[in-house]
Structure formats: structure tokens, C-alpha cells
């Protein structure tokens, strides 16, 4: 659970991260999805990836490191090949000891839109082109097929990862002066954007739907009736329900997960899902 | 065809790597075109490995890991297809067909692991509270190793037991259909816990309308098939405009109101 602190105790900006540390985090970013899970998706992998930077910024054993680790374990999901863009910006904010709400809001706002861009670049363009050419070479028993494929894919992948990391860290560092002059207003606006994105994710990532076999006698499914009232009503209701359980009844994430497991399995037994 | 001990060990090791690679590492070793060639070398028939790998690759081009849903697992499917093609001298399509049950088991394994890792996030929270950064690192590697082991064991069973093992293994899961359906349903809902946690921290009461606006826009755009890939980017443009105008308005208000309180302190933007 995230700590409730909203500012770091040591507000002196840390030394700028050197190139070696940034590069180390690029390598770590390869394992962003190592501990992927349904609740927070890439959260733990995200924290794992930026830890070298956080350690350099906040220092081993400090309260600020604990605070920073806590809020960087919240829900995170972005395109794995473009994650270093989010890393660079967030690390520049961490280094300047920006308000925690600001860092969180920027992180959430930056992670969302990258998914579509990354899919378009890598899965819909690069892989089909590279694999199309190289597969035919392989089918003709040419060992250069797989080798060329690996080469093309990884040159592009690493160029993108390294470039985005250094570029977005610079970008964040340059923007920071502008932001700190109007910190309160910026945090408010960034939180707005974050909440807006979480609203969008609720619908966009929300795939939960009723079993299509649940239907009236004339064949109309219950889900289609629900969709007639409000599409994505179930994801919205679940998110808001969990929000109130956490906010008003102090439920922990583990309790929520347990409840959802019971709901999912019972629901499957009686045929709702 | 029987495989010798060294071949089984080498396949085990390669599957261990590519199972992890499908989400981490280079995220390209697992592609059938690469894996086909490597397995071909291990099993002593590079040409067949190249052909099956290339063919399987062309079949999966339209079937990318987009969006987070778990389709039958192409990684394990590709591995077993090559193993059956070389081991039994089958045509590629027939080998791919025999590999389908294994692809399903791979899908179940991934679902199970992602479910089990969800409550582990509370363990990670405790590590963060203590500043235990090594624990976070180990947890990441531990989950990667678990995925690699699960896949490697299934493929080894398939190599030793033959294609019939695929049916035996899926029958185990088919005996309790509600379990996998239930776990998938629960897994699909768990992300709402993550969203709710973010809202609990970020959402102030005056911004409820913003939350619902984001939800409404995503739902509307989501219903336009051509925009499914770019939905979140388009929504971000709108969100940035909203946030920017809020920012500019509030800065202007403060500059107007605060100029006689702490005059000269801020120079606006």
C-alpha cells in the first residue's frame, strides 16, 4: 500500500543521474514484465527497473527511498519497448524531489497512451516486415533467416530504449523549472490528467463481461441488455465498488483480490462468466 | 523418435529461456523463426527446424501478444511443433495441430502464474516499507524463473511422453472447467483493484466528473473498431487539453490574485 506522504523529507535536488546509471536502467527495463500479475501488472518490474536511479537519488536506507518505493509499486502498465520514456521523465522528477502526487500523476498520464504507439511500431510494423522477409529465407533452409530477424528486431529495440531514456530524462530536467514555479497548479492539473486516464483505462482495459450463454428465451443475451443501458458497466461498477471498499471500509488489496477470486470461481460455477 | 538425455536437457534449458523471453529479456528469441532453428540444431535437424519455424512464424504474424489477453500460448506451441516435426517426421501443419493442446496448457500456466503473483504484490509492499530493494529485485527474478520452469517442465513431459501427453494434460484441466474459467474471470477483474488503489490516492471529490469523462470517451472510442489501437493516445490528447487549460487558468488566477501578496515572486509562464 502506498505511503500517505505527499512530499519527500529531503527536498534538496539530488545530483543528476549519470549516463552509466541511466544505461543500467535501460538494461533492467528488459525485465519490466518479470513479475507481471493481474492486479498491478508491471508494477513490481517497474520498481525493479528504476531502483538503481532511486537508490542514487534518495540513498540507501532513507525514509525517502521507502516512500518512493511505496508509490512506485502502484498499478503500472505501459508498452514494454517504450517504457524508458516514462522512466526518464519520472526519474527527472524524482531527482528534483517533486511533489509525490505530481510524480504519480505524470507516471499514470505517460504510461497509458504508449501502448497503442508501441503496438503500432513493433507488432504491426516491425515484426510483420522483418518476419515476413526472414521467414521465407528460413523456409528456404537459409540459416541467415533467424539471424537477420534477431539482428533487425534488436537493433531497433535497443536504439528505441536507449534513445527514449536519455531524451526523456533531459526533457524532464528541462521542464522542471517551469513546473516548480507553478508546482501547486501543475500537481492539480497532472492529477486531473491521471484521473482522466484511469477513467479511460477502466473502460479500455475492462474486459469483464457476462457469459454469452446467459440469455433470455428469445436469444437476447443479458450482456447485450446491460450494454444497452451502459457499455462497460461491469468494469465501472467493479472499480467503483472496490474503491468504496478500500476508501470507506479500509479493505486492503489482498482482501479485494481474495473477494474477486471467490467471485470469479463462484461465478464460473453458476455460469455467470 | 526417442531423444537422448543431452537433447532433453538442452531443450529444457532453451524452453526455460524462451518462456521468460516471451515477456522479458530480448522479447524476440521466443519467435518461432528463432526457436525453430535453435531446436533444429539441438535435435540434429537444422533444416526441418528452419522450415517449421519459418512456416509457424508466418502463421503467427497476425497473432501478436497485443492488449494483454492470453491466447493459446504460441511459444510452447511453436516448441512442441518443432519437436514433433523433427521427432516424428510430420508435416508442419500436422505437427502444429498436435502442439495445440500444449499451447492451451501454456495459456493455463500463464493465467495461474499471473493470478498467484497478484497477492504477492502485498509482500512487495512490505519490502518497500522496509526499503528492502534487494527483495524487489529477487521477487522479479523469482517470478521469471517460475515461468521458465513451468514451461520447461511441460515441454519435457511432452518430449518424453509424446504428443499423447498433451491430451492427458488438458484432460486434467478440462475435468474442472470452472476452475480455469473462474481464474481467468478473476484475473481479468484484478486490474480493477489496481485502478481503485490509484483512484483512492489521486481522486479528489471535485474530479469525479473527470473520471467519468475519461471512462465515457474511452467507451465511445472503443466502439469504433478502426480506433482500437490509437484509442488511449487520442484520449490522452483530450485529457492533456483539459489539464493544460485547468493549469493555465489556475496560474492566471493566482498571478492576478497574488500579485499584491507576494508580488514579483512569480513571473508566470
Question: Taking CA atoms, what residue in A is nearest to B35?
Answer: A146
Q: Which of A161, A173, A169 is nearest to A19 (CA)?
A: A169
As a whole number of angstroms, the distance between CA B36 and CA B50 comes to 6
- Going from the C-alpha of A70 to that of each of A3, A184, B131, the distances in angstroms are 6, 22, 9
In sequence order, the β-bridge partners of residue A37 are: A41
pLDDT tens by residue, B186-228: 888 999 998 998 898 889 899 999 999 999 999 999 999 998 7
Chain B neighbours among A 12-31 (CB < 8 Å)? 30-31
Q: What is the mean pLDDT of residues B155-159?
A: 91
Q: Which three cell numbers stand for residue B70?
A: 492470453
Q: Give Cα separations from B72 to B60, B75, B106, B154 (angstroms).
A: 11, 9, 7, 14
Chain B closest CA to A92's CA: distance in Å? Answer: 20
Which regions of chain A are under pLDDT 70?
A: 1-3
Q: How far apart are CA A220 and CA A72, in angstroms?
A: 45
Would you say A35 and B122 are in contact if contact means Cβ atoms under 8 Å apart? Answer: no
pTM of the complete model: 0.89
What 3-state DSSP class applies to A215?
A: strand
Given CA atoms A123, A125, A131, A132 in this order, what sign does their dihedral have? positive
Please state, in angstroms and as integers, the Cα–Cα distance from residue B4 to each residue in A70, B16, B80, following that order. Answer: 49, 18, 16
Residue of A nearest to B196 (CA): A243
Burial readout B33-43 (b: 16 or more C-beta within 10 A, e: otherwise)? bbbbbbbbebb
Q: Check residue B1 and give its pLDDT.
A: 56
Looking up cell 517449421 gives: B52
DSSP summary character for residue B3: P
Q: Which candidate in A44, A137, A247 is best for mutational testing of the B interface (most B CBs within 10 A)?
A: A44
B178 CB near a chain A CB, below 8 Å?
yes
**Whether A40 and B121 lie within 8 Å, measured CB to CB:** yes
- The 8-class DSSP code of residue A122 comes to I
* A192:B242 CB<8 A: yes
pLDDT tens digit sequence for A152-176:
999 999 999 999 999 999 999 888 7
**Given B29, B117, B129, which is nearest A37 (Cβ)?**
B117
Report d(CA A197, CA A176) in Å as an integer. Answer: 22
- pLDDT value of residue B66: 44
- Measured in angstroms, the CA of A219 and the nearest CA of chain B are apart by 22
Q: Which residues of A touch B178 (CB under 8 A)?
A: 265, 268-269
Residue in the block written with cell 443475451: A221
* Contact with chain B for residue A55, Cβ under 8 A: yes
CA dihedral (A169, A171, A173, A179) positive or negative: negative
What size, in residues, is chain B? 269
B199/A243 CB distance under 8 A: yes
B233 burial via Cβ count (<10 Å: 0-12, 13-18, 19+): middle
Contact A192 B207 (CB under 8 A): yes
Is B44 an 8 Å CB contact of chain A?
no
Give SS3 for B80.
helix
Distance from CA of B46 to the nearest CA of A (A): 8
Query: What is the sign of the dihedral through the CA atoms of A212, A229, B215 and A114?
Result: positive
Entry field: residues in chain A: 273
C-alpha cell at A225: 441488455
Which of B174, B108, B184 lies closest to A264 in space, CA to CA? B184
More confident residue, B30 or B180: B30
* pLDDT surpassing 60 at residue B62: no
Q: Does A259 touch chain B (CB under 8 A)?
A: no
Residues 219-258 in A contacting B (C-alpha not used; CB under 8 Å) = 231-232, 235-236, 238-240, 242-243, 245-247, 252-254, 256-258
Helix axes A183-204, B231-258, angle to 10 degrees: 160
Confidence tier at B259 by pLDDT (50, 70, 90): low
- The single-letter DSSP state of residue B31 is S
Say which of B55, B119, B266 has its CB closest to residue A254: B119
Q: Testing the interface with A: which of B85, B128, B200 to mutate, by most A Cβ within 10 A? A: B128
B31-58 mean pLDDT: 91
Cα separation, A86 vs A113, in Å, equals 11
Nearest to B217 among A109, A186, A200 (CB): A200
Mean pLDDT of B112-123: 94
pLDDT at B61: 66
* Averaged pLDDT, B89-110: 84
Assess A132–B contact: CB distance below 8 Å, yes or no: yes
Query: Which helix or strand (DSSP H or E) is residue B124 part of?
Result: helix B92-130
Cell (9 digits) for A43:
508494477
Q: For residue B210, give the nearest of A196, A252, A257 by CB distance.
A: A196
**Mean pLDDT of the B167-184 span:** 82
DSSP state of A34: T
Q: Which residues of A103-127 are buried (b: 16+ CB within 10 A; e: fewer)?
A: bbbbbbbbbbbbbbbbbebbbbebb
The pLDDT assigned to A224 comes to 93
Q: Across all residues in chain B, what is the average pLDDT? A: 87
What is the rounded average pLDDT of the residues B97-119? Answer: 89
Residue B267 has pLDDT above 70, yes or no: no
Alpha helices, H only, chain A: 19-28, 43-58, 63-71, 83-95, 100-118, 127-139, 144-181, 183-204, 222-229, 233-249, 253-270
From B140, B195, B233, residue closest to A117, measured CB to CB: B233
Summarize pLDDT for A87-103 with one digit per residue, the tens.
Answer: 999 999 999 999 898 89
Give dist(CA B267, CA A37) in Å, integer. Answer: 46
Residue B71's pLDDT is 64
Amino acid at each position: 500500500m502506498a505511503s500517505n506522504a505527499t512530499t519527500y523529507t529531503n527536498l534538496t535536488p539530488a545530483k543528476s543521474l549519470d549516463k552509466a546509471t541511466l544505461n543500467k536502467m535501460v538494461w533492467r527495463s528488459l525485465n519490466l514484465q518479470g513479475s507481471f500479475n493481474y492486479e498491478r501488472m508491471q508494477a513490481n518490474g517497474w520498481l525493479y527497473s528504476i531502483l538503481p536511479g532511486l537508490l542514487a537519488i534518495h540513498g540507501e536506507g532513507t525514509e525517502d527511498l521507502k516512500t518512493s518505493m511505496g508509490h512506485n509499486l502502484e498499478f503500472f502498465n505501459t508498452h514494454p519497448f517504450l517504457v524508458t520514456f516514462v522512466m526518464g521523465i519520472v526519474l527527472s522528477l524524482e531527482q528534483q524531489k517533486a511533489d509525490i502526487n505530481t510524480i504519480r500523476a505524470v507516471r499514470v498520464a505517460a504510461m497509458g497512451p504508449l501502448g497503442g504507439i508501441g503496438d503500432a511500431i513493433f507488432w504491426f510494423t516491425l515484426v510483420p516486415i522483418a518476419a515476413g522477409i526472414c521467414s521465407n529465407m528460413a523456409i528456404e533452409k537459409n540459416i541467415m533467416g533467424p539471424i537477420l530477424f534477431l539482428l533487425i528486431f534488436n537493433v531497433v529495440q535497443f536504439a528505441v530504449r536507449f534513445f527514449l531514456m536519455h531524451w526523456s530524462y533531459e526533457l524532464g530536467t528541462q521542464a522542471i523549472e517551469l513546473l516548480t514555479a507553478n508546482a501547486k497548479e501543475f500537481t492539480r492539473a497532472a492529477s486531473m490528467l491521471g484521473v482522466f486516464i484511469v477513467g479511460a483505462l477502466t473502460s479500455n482495459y475492462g474486459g469483464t463481461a457476462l457469459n454469452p450463454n446467459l440469455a433470455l428465451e428469445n436469444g437476447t443475451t443479458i450482456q447485450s441488455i446491460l450494454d444497452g443501458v451502459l457499455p462497460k458497466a461491469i468494469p465501472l461498477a467493479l472499480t467503483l465498488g472496490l474503491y468504496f471498499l478500500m476508501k470507506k471500509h479500509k479493505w486492503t488489496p489482498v482482501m479485494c483480490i481474495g473477494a474477486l477470486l471467490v467471485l470469479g470461481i463462484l461465478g464460473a460455477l453458476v455460469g455467470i462468466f | 523418435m526417442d531423444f537422448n538425455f543431452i537433447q532433453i536437457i538442452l531443450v529444457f534449458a532453451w524452453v526455460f529461456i524462451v518462456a521468460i523471453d516471451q515477456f522479458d529479456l530480448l522479447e524476440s528469441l521466443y519467435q518461432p523463426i528463432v526457436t525453430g532453428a535453435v531446436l533444429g540444431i539441438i535435435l540434429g535437424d537444422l533444416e526441418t527446424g528452419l522450415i517449421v519455424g519459418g512456416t509457424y512464424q508466418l502463421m503467427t504474424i497476425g497473432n501478436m501478444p497485443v492488449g494483454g489477453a492470453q491466447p493459446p500460448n504460441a511459444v510452447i506451441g511453436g516448441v512442441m511443433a518443432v519437436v514433433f516435426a523433427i521427432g516424428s517426421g510430420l508435416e508442419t501443419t500436422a505437427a502444429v495441430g498436435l502442439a495445440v493442446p500444449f499451447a492451451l496448457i501454456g495459456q493455463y500456466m500463464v493465467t495461474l502464474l499471473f493470478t498467484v503473483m497478484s497477492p504477492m504484490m502485498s509482500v512487495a509492499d512490505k519490502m518497500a516499507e522496509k526499503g528492502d530493494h534487494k527483495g524487489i529485485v529477487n521477487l522479479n527474478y523469482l517470478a521469471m524463473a517460475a515461468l521458465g520452469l513451468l514451461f520447461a517442465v511441460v515441454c519435457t513431459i511432452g518430449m518424453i511422453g509424446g504428443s499423447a501427453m498433451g491430451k492427458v494434460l488438458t484432460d486434467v484441466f478440462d475435468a474442472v472447467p470452472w476452475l480455469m474459467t473462474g481464474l481467468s474471470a478473476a484475473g481479468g477483474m484484478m486490474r480493477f483493484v489496481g485502478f481503485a488503489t490509484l483512484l483512492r490516492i489521486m481522486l479528489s471529490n471535485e474530479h469525479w466528473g473527470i473520471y467519468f469523462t475519461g471512462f465515457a470517451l474511452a467507451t465511445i472510442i472503443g466502439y469504433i473498431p478502426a480506433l482500437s489501437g490509437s484509442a488511449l493516445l487520442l484520449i490522452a490528447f483530450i485529457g492533456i487539453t483539459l489539464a493544460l487549460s485547468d493549469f493555465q487558468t489556475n496560474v492566471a488566477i493566482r498571478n492576478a490574485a497574488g500579485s499584491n501578496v507576494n508580488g514579483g515572486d512569480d513571473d508566470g509562464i
